Amino acid sequence: MPTAAGSPGAAATYETDVLVVGGGIAGLSAALAARQAGARVILIEKAPREHRGGNTRFADAQMRFPHEPDEFGHRGYTADEMFDDLMRISRGRANPELVRTLCENAADAAEWLTGFGLEWEPGYPHTAGYRRSPKAGGQGLIDLLYRRLDGLGGIVSYETAALDLLLHPSGAVAGVRARGPEGVIDLEARGGTVLACGGFQANVEMRVRYLGRFADGLILRGSRYNTGEGLLMAIAAGARPAGQWGDYHSAVLDARSPRIECGVTALYNYQMGIFVDREGRRFLDEGEDFRDHTYVKFSKQIVEQAGGEAWCIFDQKAYGREEFARAWRPVGPPLESPTLEGLARQMGVPAENFLETVAAFNAAVQPGEYDLDRLDGKRTAGIWPPKSNWALPIDAPPYLAIPVTGGITFTFGGLACDTSARVLDTRGQPMPGLYAAGEPMGELFYYNYPGASSVIRGCVFGRIAGGHAAARAAGS
Ligand SMILES: Cc1cc2nc3c(=O)[nH]c(=O)nc-3n(C[C@H](O)[C@H](O)[C@H](O)COP(=O)(O)OP(=O)(O)OC[C@H]3O[C@@H](n4cnc5c(N)ncnc54)[C@H](O)[C@@H]3O)c2cc1C
Q: What is the mean pLDDT of the segment spanning 158-177? A: 97
Which residues lie with the beta carbon below 6 Å from any ligand 1 atom?
21-27, 44-47, 52-56, 58-62, 161-162, 196-198, 221-223, 225-226, 229, 263-264, 409-410, 438-439, 452-455, 458
Report the CATH number that the domain containing residue 177 is assigned in CATH. 3.50.50.60
Q: Has residue 38 got a pLDDT over 90?
A: yes
Report the alpha-carbon distance of residue 394 to residue 392 in Å, rounded: 6
The residues near 247 (Cβ < 8 Å, ≥ 6 apart) are 211, 411, 412, 413, 445, 446, 447
The residues near 36 (Cβ < 8 Å, ≥ 6 apart) are 152
pLDDT in the model for residue 30: 99
Region of poorest pLDDT, from 62-71, 304-313, 449-458: 62-71
pLDDT in the model for residue 199: 98
Q: Has residue 166 got a pLDDT over 70?
A: yes
> Does 211 lie in the same domain as 264?
no
> Does 190 lie in the same domain as 47?
yes
Give how far Cα 128 sits from Cα of 299, 374, 382, Å.
Answer: 23, 12, 33
Closest protein CA for atom 46 of ligand 1? 54
The residues near 221 (Cβ < 8 Å, ≥ 6 apart) are 55, 58, 250, 251, 253, 261, 262, 263, 265, 407, 408, 409
Q: Has residue 6 got a pLDDT over 90?
A: no
> Does 320 lie in the same domain as 426?
no
Domain stops at, among 362, 377, 408: 408
- Our mutation pick for probing the ligand 1 site, out of 55, 260, 295, counting the most ligand atoms within 8 A of Cβ, is 55
Domain stops at, among 356, 375, 408: 408
Which is more confidently placed, 293 or 252?
252
Domain stops at, among 393, 408, 423: 408
**Amino acid occupying residue 107:** A
Q: Has residue 476 got a pLDDT over 90?
A: no
Q: What is the phi/psi pair of residue 134, to 5°?
A: -65, 140
Closest protein CA for atom 26 of ligand 1? 438
> Does 398 lie in the same domain as 291?
yes
CB 208, CB 202: distance < 8 Å: no
Could you read off the pLDDT of 342-383 as tens digits, one per residue?
999 999 999 999 999 999 999 999 999 999 989 999 999 999
Region class of 389: left (phi > 0), else alpha (psi between -120 and 50), else beta: beta
Q: What is the distance in A from the centroid of ligand 1 to the CA of 458?
A: 9
> Does 421 lie in the same domain as 335?
no
Q: What is the phi/psi pair of residue 132, to 5°?
A: -135, 150
Q: What is the distance in A from the centroid of ligand 1 to the CA of 460?
A: 14
pLDDT in the model for residue 128: 54
> Does 211 lie in the same domain as 103?
yes
Could you read off the pLDDT of 140-152 as tens digits, one per residue?
999 999 999 999 9
Total count of domains within the chain: 2
Residue-number span of the structural domain to which 311 is assigned? 252-408
Report the alpha-carbon distance of residue 144 to residue 127 in Å, rounded: 26
> Does 447 lie in the same domain as 373?
no
Among candidates 47, 44, 69, which has minimal Cα distance to 57?
47
Q: What's the mean per-residue pLDDT of the chain?
A: 95
Q: What is the DSSP string of 199-235?
A: -STT-HHHHHHHH-GGGGG-EE-S-TT--SHHHHHHH
> Does 332 lie in the same domain as 384?
yes
The helix or strand, by DSSP H or E, that contains position 140, with its residue range, turns out to be: helix 137-151
